[in-house]
Chain A
């Protein structure tokens, strides 16, 4: 399985590079990201300012370094929260059939009925911008997708003969759920988690671009792009550079997701007869 290992290596190197540069930003950044020097506004890359300066003369390099932190962190937290919520509801709906299943499925359908981005915009818009409103919007819109997929996985595993065998051996529901059902579901859930983190980063970026997520003084890639909209004719690099960073981050996450998915299906190709 050389292909997936190769992909895995690139993805991990890219991701660690971005995350490290984000974490070490305070020491790496030459200037304070929010310090304004109106004198040197809109300069191209030069010796002092490696990536040039933006409309308010702030150093682009340090803003780029700080730029990734907020969205990655927020995306991870949001996805973990919505995954846990989704798993709890999905497993309950899948394992305990009957009324519990019907009620939970209907609730999931309601939340899935409303298009994700529109609901997110509505929530962020009404509650006003800010980190925790953004977090709430992200979790409310994405847990339904998780719970639907987890429910189908639970139904699939519950019907496996070895689960029936264990039940015949006298295993209690908790052991069946915790020690057998969930570990068997983990590989698919991990793949789902990686793709969902990627999607959350995208949603955060779009909301911040519309001014509903992270607010201007905060150095974030999408906020930088939205600020630079007015000057895109004169200083295009203000748009291109932060965009490229975001693209690399998303590309690495997607690559990681693909590599994990290939890794999971490896066993299927074993020779059945032998």
Chain B
């Protein structure tokens, strides 16, 4: 892997959760450094409660950090807000772990998938419609699914729709927080295959968070293992 441009970086991130009544596990991050290169599938592994998901939320700027900063294409964005962040927000997308609650239960799936375009003030032009068609065929989602409500659709289909919603915004990085661990084995296999060929077609880079060792070995180029908020061994496996 020659040294590609660094697309998303986090420098000595520390995050301490006070043991308020609400928070059961005190999961803090101690000066974590992580770099995701362009076009790379970076695996992030570790037992549950070691801070994987917290790191993901910090990278997505959903959680403030106590110290350290997040860099998008080399520029620090922890301080920025408002429209400077538009490029970042569009560039990094998030696929959650629980399929059954990643869509608003009151909206039909079609509307939810298309809605993010309006967040970036993009009108529903003909070009976007064609792009949606292409994505639907790539993700093997039937048109009829878009008319249904989230509780009438299976876990695997929901994850694929979440992918479709994210890819409609033409992101460059996908953060997958154990997106396949709730799925059955066969559906997971299908999802991984789709993720693989999407990566070539749209030359994306993935931060793939999982606790399944075999899956990580099979799918990821580089794996980082975390333990109680710290990174143990960087890049144990380079395949």
Contact = CB atoms under 8 A, between A and B. Distances in A.
On whether the two chains bind one another, the answer is: yes
Interface of A: 160-162, 164-172, 175, 179-180, 183-184, 267, 270
B62 interface: yes
Interface in B115-172: 115-116, 118-120, 151, 162, 165-166, 169
19 contacts: A161-B101, A162-B103, A162-B104, A164-B62, A165-B102, A168-B94, A169-B94, A169-B116, A169-B119, A169-B166, A171-B119, A172-B119, A175-B119, A179-B115, A180-B104, A180-B106, A184-B106, A267-B151, A270-B151
Scoring A161, A165, A167, A270 by chain B CB atoms within 10 A of each residue's CB, the highest score goes to A165
Contacts of B93: 168-169
Contact of A169 (B86, B98, B151, B169): B169
Given A170-B90, A172-B119, A267-B151, A165 B106 contact: no
Contacts of B74: none
B105 interface: yes
Contacts of A167: 62
Nearest to B162: A165
Given A160-B101, A267-B151, A270-B151, A168 B106 contact: no
B116 A170 contact: yes
**Lowest 9 CB-CB distances: which A-B pairs, in order?**
A170-B89, A168-B94, A161-B101, A170-B119, A169-B116, A168-B60, A183-B106, A165-B102, A171-B119
Nearest to B111: A179
Contacts of A166: 104
B96 interface: yes
Contacts of B57: 164
A162 B62 contact: no
Interface residues of B, number: 26
Contacts of A165: 94, 96, 102-103, 162
Contacts of B101: 160-162
Nearest to A183: B106
Given A171-B116, A270-B151, 16 more contacts: A162-B101, A162-B104, A162-B105, A164-B57, A165-B103, A166-B104, A169-B93, A169-B119, A169-B165, A170-B90, A170-B116, A170-B119, A170-B120, A175-B119, A183-B104, A183-B106
A158 to B, nearest CB: 13
Contacts, number: 53
A111 B94 CA distance: 43
B126 to A, nearest CB: 23
A118 to B, nearest CB: 34
Contact of A164 (B96, B105, B118): B96
B102 A161 contact: yes
Contacts of A270: 151
Nearest to B60: A168
B119 A184 contact: no
Contacts of B166: 169
Nearest to A181: B104
A252 to B, nearest CB: 28
A168 B119 contact: no
A165 B158 CA distance: 13
B96 A161 contact: yes
A267 B104 CA distance: 15
Contacts of B169: 169
A160 B98 CA distance: 11
Contacts of B118: 175
Contacts of B102: 161-162, 165
Contacts of A168: 60, 62, 93-94
Nearest to A164: B62
B160 to A, nearest CB: 15
Contacts of A184: 104-106
A156 B16 CA distance: 24
A165 B177 CA distance: 12
A237 B152 CA distance: 56
Contacts of A170: 86, 89-90, 116, 119-120
A6 to B, nearest CB: 26
Nearest to A272: B100
Contacts of B105: 162, 184
B62 A161 contact: no
Interface string B185-217: 000000000000000000000000000000000
